[in-house]
Amino acid sequence: MAARREDFSLDRFIIRWAINAFALWVAFKIVPGIHADKLSLEAVIVMAAVFGLVNAIIRPIITFLTCPLIILTLGLGTLLINAGMFWLAGKISDWIGFGFQVDGFWPALLGALVVSIVSVILSAVLGGRRRVVEED
């Protein structure tokens, strides 16, 4: 029996998007130095889309290029990458007019940690992760 990942599901995609949006909202509420000009539902949804795109497109490239650093730091380099992706998502959403600002490295690091923790917890509860399907 071979195992394969389940194909794309729109339901799972929407759940992941909602989880990221909620996790970003939590980061806005509890991390000092992360703020938005207008924290509306529309703004949070767009910011979650920007954050998802940055993590889907740019993060794998940066992770590949910094693989020796990640190995050298025993995986702690991924914290720097996560903080950088969080900061970059803030800059991009600010450029497109949604006013998501990160005031420096420490707020970016704490924000990335909060988003990661909330996302993992909600994914475990809501089932937003990909499943492995057994084939006969």
105/4: higher pLDDT:
105
Q: What pLDDT does residue 13 have?
A: 84
Q: Band the pLDDT of 43: cuts 50, 70, 90.
A: confident
Of 13, 78, 12, 77, which Cα lies nearest the Cα of 49? 13
Residue 136 pLDDT greater than 60, yes or no:
no
Mean pLDDT, the chain, whole residue set: 85
Distance of alpha carbon 107 from alpha carbon 124, whole angstroms: 26
Q: Band the pLDDT of 31: cuts 50, 70, 90.
A: very high
Distance of alpha carbon 116 from alpha carbon 78, whole angstroms: 12
- pTM score, two decimals? 0.80
Q: What pLDDT does residue 36 have?
A: 81
Q: What pLDDT does residue 3 have?
A: 56
Ramachandran sector of residue 64 (left: φ over 0; alpha: ψ -120 to 50; beta: rest): alpha
Q: Which two tokens stand for residue 10?
A: 């729109």
